[in-house]
Structure 1
Amino acid sequence: MTVTIGLLHPGSMGSAFGAQLRARGHIVLWCPDGRSDATRSRAEQAGLEPEALPELVSRSDVLLSLCPPAAAEETAAQVAELGKASAGTIYVEANAVSPSRVQRIADRLAPRPVIDAAVVGSPPVGGKYPTLYLSGPSKQPDRIAELFAGTDVRPHVLGDSIGKASALKLTYSSYQKVSRVLAAVAYGAAETYGVADELLEIAAKRTRSYLLETDYIPKTAARAWRWGPELEDAAALLADAGLPDSLMHAAAATLARWDDNRDERLDIAGALEALRAQGNLDSPG
């Protein structure tokens, strides 16, 4: 069955998703108002059909929001203000935003059904196969997953709770993105002090991600009292090299929350509970 999808708004990821949906025989609309020449070119290459926003909203069976995260709520608000979509039109919030922001969007768009979605991976071009995680009430996530059956987008339904998909996206991307920033400043410092090649040799000996080694969480808690001051010295090294030191200070402050657990034999749950408990003590009020 042909479905009409309104795409809000086709950047590199959105246009690639639109092309995949077009290849399945669906109609994909986009709004060219105020968009750049680059966006227009991507939309044309993907075979998307231009339409003014009010008509796009009223014609669509599904509205797929893939825009910069900062614009996610504004985009949803524009749709809500138009008020021309039927109550059965499914709104798919697929941006990298927090679960609380997804819930605000769902509240704003009620009674329209809202699906919490998250893309993990690169745009589906050139042999790339991103995963589209979906969560939301009733059978709506399954309906969205069916749209991508047979495409290079791999849908994965997480359950019926708003927030699961966005939580998965941000927990993963927070590690991936911050670790890359940290790698950049570490390499910059090593280069400043003439030990960049040696740093890369050390790093090459490791093949696994710490994200896979959850048993290291309680070990980190037990050693935090020693690691925190070490990272403060690392912050001084970065500052001396003319590089940002805020990541080191933030990590040291996080480790300081485990100061009361010096050399304790905690399990993972206990280590995380200690981290949360100290965070509550730090909160105002």
Structure 2
Amino acid sequence: MDQQPTVGILHPGSMGAAVAACAARNAADVLWCDAGRSPATAQRAAQFGLTRVSTLGELLGRSDIVIGLCPPAAAENLARDVAEHGFAGLYVEANAINPERTARIADLLSTTTTVVDGGVVGSPPIHGKTPALYLSGPAPATSSVARLFADTDVHTTVLGTAVGQASALKLSYAAFQKVSRVLVALSTGLARHHGVDQELLTVAGKRHDSYLSEPEYVAKAAARAWRWGPEMHEVGDALEAAGLPSDLLRAAAATLSRWDDAKDDDELTLADALDRLAQP
């Protein structure tokens, strides 16, 4: 793809909008579809300078590359919508889903569409954050996606040619990184219940590699639980497919569900999060 491509983002959530804004540096235009989207989504899209279109058909008809970034549960329905329009470009499946689902999506779109598997590791690329976008799939297509993010705050790495590799890496990291935050919440909540939470901080602070020394992150985890919970189920499915037990991840998802009503609450405090955890 020698000329700058037109890119579509489905959909501009906190991660998708920021990633799309990075892609805009090497794209002719970045489109988003406002059909069925919330005022908050529209505000984000405007903030990042994305171009609004009215229908999915228009977005797909004008786009060379489409990036799918949505909650895990919606990934296959989103891909079906794209398939129904016969999209003939390059589709980046960048959702936090297990490799088997990624492969199903690739098969679903294979008639007309080239699919690249993508896994985003890190926070949205704002305020100096530089997430990694891992890619796997057909070599010419992964190279096109890597060029799209060249010299931006999204750092790309191509893992190989097999669809599923990027998803597997994303979930392998998420299994540790996110469940560890759930364990911090449970440990801190237990210590707080017995009035020894400050002592727990002192003990944990003696180990610089302990998440227990950063309990303030629990509030951020609670605000993101509506996304993290479904992701833990994806990890559980991936573990089971690999012949590994999924109980811990299912339990983490159940714990995260106690924070579902804290969705994107940036004002949430540690005390609020622990209270919700103890009294759903």
TM-score higher than 0.5: yes
> Counterpart of 1:139 in 2: which secondary structure?
helix
- Contact 2:22–2:152 (CA under 8 A) maintained in structure 1: yes
- AA at the equivalent of 2:108: R
Alignment of 1:169-180 (within 5 A): 169-180=170-181
Equivalent position to 1:68, from 67, 71, 80: 71
Point out 4+ residue stretches in structure 1 off by more than 3 angstroms: 275-279
Q: Which residue of 1 aligns with 2:119?
A: 118
Unaligned residue ranges in structure 2 (runs of 5+): 212-241, 247-280
- Indicate the residue corresponding to 1:79 in structure 2: 82
* CA distance 1:196–1:26, shift in 2 (3 Å): same
Q: Does residue 2 in structure 1 map to residue 4 in structure 2?
A: yes
Gaps of 5+ in 1: 211-274, 280-285
Q: Which residue of 2 aligns with 1:98?
A: 98
- How far residue 26 of structure 1 moved from its aligned partner, in angstroms, is 2.9
Q: Which residue of 2 aligns with 1:165?
A: 166
How far does residue 209 in structure 1 lie from its aligned partner after superposition? 6.4
In 1, Cα distance between the equivalents of 2:12 and 2:207? 38
CA distance in 1, matches of 2:4, 2:122: 27
Alignment of 1:250-265 (within 5 A): none
1:276 to partner: Cα distance: 5.6
Deviation (angstroms), 1:207: 2.4
Shift in Å at residue 23 of structure 1?
Answer: 2.8
- CA separation of 1:49/1:138 partners in 2, compared to 1, >3 Å: closer, same or farther? same
Partner of 1:267: none
Identity %: 53
The alpha-carbon distance between structure 1 residues 75 and 202, as it changes in their structure 2 partners (threshold 3 A), is same
Q: Structure 2 matches for 1:1-285, cutoff 5 A?
A: 1-51=3-53, 52-83=55-86, 85-86=87-88, 89-111=89-111, 112-208=113-209
State the number of aligned residues. 212
What SS is found at the alignment partner of 1:2?
A: coil
Separation in 1 of the partners of 2:26 and 2:65?
Answer: 15
The Cα shift of 1:169 comes to: 0.7
| Superposition deviation, residue 278 in structure 1 | 9.1
Instruction: Give the 3-state SS of the residue equivalent to 2:139 in structure 1.
Output: coil
Instruction: Please give the TM-score of this superposition, normalised by the length of structure 2.
Output: 0.72
Whole-angstrom distance in 2 between the partners of 1:160 and 1:209: 36
Q: Which has the higher contact order (CA 8 A, sep 6+)?
A: 2
Please say if residues 130 and 153 of structure 2, whose CA atoms lie closer than 8 Å, have aligned partners that are also in contact: yes
Change (3 A) 1:76 1:276: closer
Distance 1:122 1:197, change over 3 A: same
Give the Å deviation of 1:138: 2.7
Q: Distance in 2 between matches of 1:37 and 1:278?
A: 41
Q: Provide the alpha-carbon RMSD of the alignment.
A: 1.9
Q: TM-score, with normalisation over the residues of structure 1?
A: 0.71
